[in-house]
């Protein structure tokens, strides 16, 4: 298994109006490579995680249950190299592991690799927020120590925990 920090060309199965379109997610990666970590086996992507800081107004809207990440654009992603004294509001917006690779610890490996990218700015990371649209996503958030914050206006459940607790948990 190889942990990749570069984007590979592969097919996404995005449906509905609840997930950021892949073209936009690719723009985040091009500008801010720290927004994605992926794992490959035999040159096939078998899992990936999107963990990155969002601008304060996006974080506030997420916490109010009023932000659907389908509408997250490059402008909503925080540049970790700017304003080194400001807090970073972390958003764990996507965790995907191919079914053939589940229950093997890959999720934890991906989460650790994603969090490690913020080692130099960890003192600025405040909380991590998730916006879960499936029962599996909610189970994931509970398993990793997130606490339920609220139901959103787009029928998802928002969870949160401190950055320090998140890093300890993974």
How confident is the model over 25-68, as pLDDT tens digits?
888 889 999 999 999 998 888 999 999 999 999 999 999 999 98
- Nearest by Cα to 87 from 58, 117, 116, 53: 53
Which tens digits make up the pLDDT trace of 84-110? 888 999 999 888 898 889 889 999 999
**Residue, of 148 and 7, whose pLDDT is higher:** 148
Burial (0-12, 13-18, 19+ Cβ within 10 Å), 119: exposed
How much is the pTM? Answer: 0.87
User: What residue segments make up the domains of the chain, in order of their start?
Assistant: 2-169
Q: CA-to-CA distance for 69 and 2, rounded, in angstroms?
A: 28
CATH H-level, domain 2-169: superfamily: Gcn5-related N-acetyltransferase (GNAT) (3.40.630.30)
| pLDDT of amino acid 9 | 37
Q: CA-to-CA distance for 110 and 37, rounded, in angstroms?
A: 7
């Amino acid at each position: 298994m190889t942990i990749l920090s570069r984007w590979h060309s592969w097919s996404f199965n995005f449906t509905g109006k609840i997930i950021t379109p892949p073209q936009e997610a690719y723009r985040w990666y091009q500008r801010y490579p720290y927004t994605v970590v992926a794992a490959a086996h035999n040159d096939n992507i078998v899992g990936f995680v999107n963990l990155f800081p969002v601008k304060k107004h996006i974080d506030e809207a997420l916490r109010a249950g009023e932000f659907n990440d389908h509408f997250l654009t490059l402008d909503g992603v925080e540049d970790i190299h700017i304003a080194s004294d400001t807090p970073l509001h972390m958003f764990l917006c996507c965790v995907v592991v191919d079914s053939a690779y589940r229950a093997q610890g890959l999720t934890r490996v991906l989460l650790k690799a994603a969090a490690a990218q913020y080692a130099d700015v960890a003192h600025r990371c405040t909380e991590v927020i998730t916006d879960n649209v499936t029962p599996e996503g909610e189970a994931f958030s509970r398993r990793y120590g997130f606490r339920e914050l609220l139901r959103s206006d787009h029928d998802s459940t928002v969870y949160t925990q401190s950055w320090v607790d998140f890093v300890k948990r993974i």
